[in-house]
Structures are given as structure tokens and as C-alpha cells.
Amino acid sequence: MSDEMLRAPAEAKYADELDWLESVDDGPRPFSWRLSPRMVRLFVLGSERSDGLDREIKQKWFGDRSLVERAIVTLASDRGLLLIGDPGTGKSWLAELLAAAISRNSTLVVQGTAGTTEDHIKYSWNISMVIAKGQSRESMIPSPIMTAMEQGVIGRFEELTRSTSDVQDALISILSEKYVSIPELDDDNVVFAKPGFSIIATANSRDRGVNDLSSALKRRFNFVRIPVVTNKRSEAEIVRFRTTELLRRHRIELDVPPTLLDILLQSFADLRAASESASSDDERLESSLSTAEQIGVLEDAILHSHFFGDRTLRAQTLAGSLVGSLARRSPEDLAILNKYWHGVVEPRSKKEGGQWPDFLEGGRQAIATLS
């Protein structure tokens, strides 16, 4: 089935691994969880030789072990889990992996937007059925969260802080009483959550203040803050892992030379340092320079090389892609990139050589084209 999908959900993609883990898991499982907490951790963070498993489980999310443990434990407790962090830090990916491992269903997702209404969280009605048959459970359309309650699985709420406060507050009763009442119906008018139900929400820390969570809702969530990955080694791992996946998805066979990957990581590290030391927003790139952004740059460069180039990833292409992705505002971003290219990349290309001179040239051309 996964072959026919552009992007298979985690439970489909790693169905084999999940099946196998379930078969060997002899640990205690909370509620209706498909795996024990330890196996969930193993699924997310990958196995090691010391775990004594017959089969290797690949690491899927790269970050602090204790964060994952705290997240899993929260789901086993009475509270919802709120993953909070900068854009591109892997919050949604972690949420998806957790939902897949715990309940084999990561698709019960509500996307929080300014247009999200309470109906999206609770239920709505199929108008034609209501006209034909009246209000009944049949003519009711349950939201993904209500479905999760009925099935006793994990429901997800993406970008919680993008939806308005009154909509967010609809979650309060779901998280504390664990049921939704349907006053339109005379009987069978309460949907009780089955054991195993919980919510993983994600929130972008850059959106803080747009629609702040109420204290009542905050109390019902445990917050786990996902930091931006600054460790170069872990970041390289993440970029490599995600890029391999993307290449497979696009069915492209192309090598990413390690030297180019280093250049990409180094450039992002430099730009991040510059952003941190900048005193005003005008001196700072608009991009959050997250790991996801790096993956985007690399993917862009790969696709460009594959379809318009000679099917080899070159430093010029990477530079062009980097400039193209990061230059969002003109002239501020372009000015910062120009400064970076001439102040950092140029001396480095003279000093270190290798692929840097090509990278310098490609960047220059890209900046010239955009200016």
C-alpha cells in the first residue's frame, strides 16, 4: 500500500518493524497500547546492540533521549502532550511516530488554523442525512479527536496555537472529563473516551502570543520543549536520514557527497551564529534556519541537479538552492546573504579550497540573479 502513496504514514511505512516489535514485546502495556513504553522508545530512537534484539531497529527521530521518555510517559498518564519548539525541529514527526507506535494510527489529525472551529474538534452533521433521517448518530460526522476517543487511541492536534482560544478551550473538557456530550440527541448522547485515548498537540514557539493557551488548558497538558538541534553530528544524521528518504520517494539515485553535506551544515551553523548575534530583525534572516530548512535546501538542490543538471549534485547548485530558499525578503535577506558570502565564504574558499570555491561562485551568481 505504501508504494502507492506519495507519503505513507509512519505506521504504514514501518509496519514491518512495528509488527515485529509487537511480537517480541513482553513488557507491561498501559491501557490499549500496542507496544510497551520501552518498545515505543526503542521504535523512535532505534535499537542498540545492548538491547539484545535479533533485528536492528533504525533510529527515526534524533534528539535527547530523555525528551522522548518524558513524552511517552506523559501519554501513559492522565495528561495530554504538547510538543513545543521552533519550526522544523521535528515536533510533528515525533508526534506521528509516537501515535504510530502506540496506537498504529497516526492519521487522526486536526490541523489548527485560524479557521478551525469547535466542530472540527468535536463533531459536525451531514446536512442531507439530517434532512432525510433527522439528527442521529448516523448523520453525525465525528471529528478525528472524537474518533480517537471512541477507539481509545492517540489523537493529534497540529499547530494548536494557530486556532483561536475558544476553539482551544473545547479541548479542556475532552482532556479532563474524557467525554463529549451531544445535546442534539435525546439518547446515546455521550461519547466516552476508551482507555488509551490521549492527545498529542504541537505548537510553534514562534507563534507565542498569537493565541495563547488558557491556564486551564495549560494545566491539562504536559509541555515538552523540543530544542533546535545544534550538535553538528546529530544534525548531519538527521539531514542524511531525511534526504535518503526523500530520494527514495522521488526514486532518484544520486549521491550526496559528504563534503557538500559538511558545507551545508557549516553554512547553517555560521548563519545561525550570525542570527543570534544580530541586534535587530533586519539584521537577521527571516528563516528559522532549522534542520528542516536544511533538508529543504538539499532536496531542492538534488531535484534541480536531477532534472535540470547532469544528475550530479554540485556545490554551485547547492549554493543557488541555499540562496533561493533563504532569501525571502528583499533587500534585507539578500544583504545578509551577500555579507555572509563575501565575509565568510570567500575567505574560507581561499583558505580551505575543496568545494568551497564552487560554492562561493554559485552563491554569487544566485545573489546577482536575485538582486
Binding site for other proteins (CB under 8 A): 37-38, 41, 48-50, 64-66, 69-70, 72-74, 76-79, 84, 203, 205, 208, 213, 215, 218-219, 221-225
Minimum gap (Å) between residue 241 Cβ and other proteins: 18
End-to-end CA distance of the chain: 46
DSSP letter assigned to residue 227:
P
Which three-class secondary structure state does DSSP give residue 335? Answer: helix
Residue number, 33 or 359, with CB nearest to other proteins: 33
Minimum gap (Å) between residue 26 Cβ and other proteins: 14
Residue number, 82 or 247, with CB nearest to other proteins: 82
Residue number, 79 or 304, with CB nearest to other proteins: 79
Residue number, 98 or 224, with CB nearest to other proteins: 224
Minimum gap (Å) between residue 112 Cβ and other proteins: 16
Minimum gap (Å) between residue 157 Cβ and other proteins: 16
Residue number, 77 or 369, with CB nearest to other proteins: 77
Q: Which long-range contacts (CB under 8 A, 24 or more apart) does 209-216 make?
A: 210/161, 210/162, 211/161, 211/162, 211/163, 211/164, 211/165, 211/168, 212/161, 212/165, 213/160, 213/161, 213/165, 213/168, 214/165, 214/168, 214/169, 214/172, 216/169, 216/172
Minimum gap (Å) between residue 245 Cβ and other proteins: 24
Which residues, other chains included, contact 145 with Cβ-Cβ below 8 Å and sequence gap of 6+?
108, 110, 121, 122, 155, 157, 171, 174, 199
State CA 74 to chain mean position distance: 19
Minimum gap (Å) between residue 29 Cβ and other proteins: 12
Given its phi and psi angles, is residue 82 left (phi above 0), alpha (psi -120 to 50 degrees) or beta? beta
| Residues, the chain | 371
Rounded Cα distance, 9 and 180, in Å: 27
Residue number, 225 or 342, with CB nearest to other proteins: 225
Minimum gap (Å) between residue 252 Cβ and other proteins: 34
Minimum gap (Å) between residue 82 Cβ and other proteins: 9
Which three-class secondary structure state does DSSP give residue 203? Answer: strand
Contact 106, 156 (CB under 8 A): yes
Residue number, 133 or 218, with CB nearest to other proteins: 218
Residue number, 48 or 166, with CB nearest to other proteins: 48
For residue 142, give the H/E element and its range: strand 140-142
Alpha helices in the chain (DSSP H): 10-13, 15-24, 37-45, 65-76, 91-103, 118-121, 127-133, 144-151, 165-176, 215-220, 232-250, 258-277, 291-308, 315-326, 332-340, 346-352, 356-370
Minimum gap (Å) between residue 218 Cβ and other proteins: 5
Residue number, 170 or 203, with CB nearest to other proteins: 203
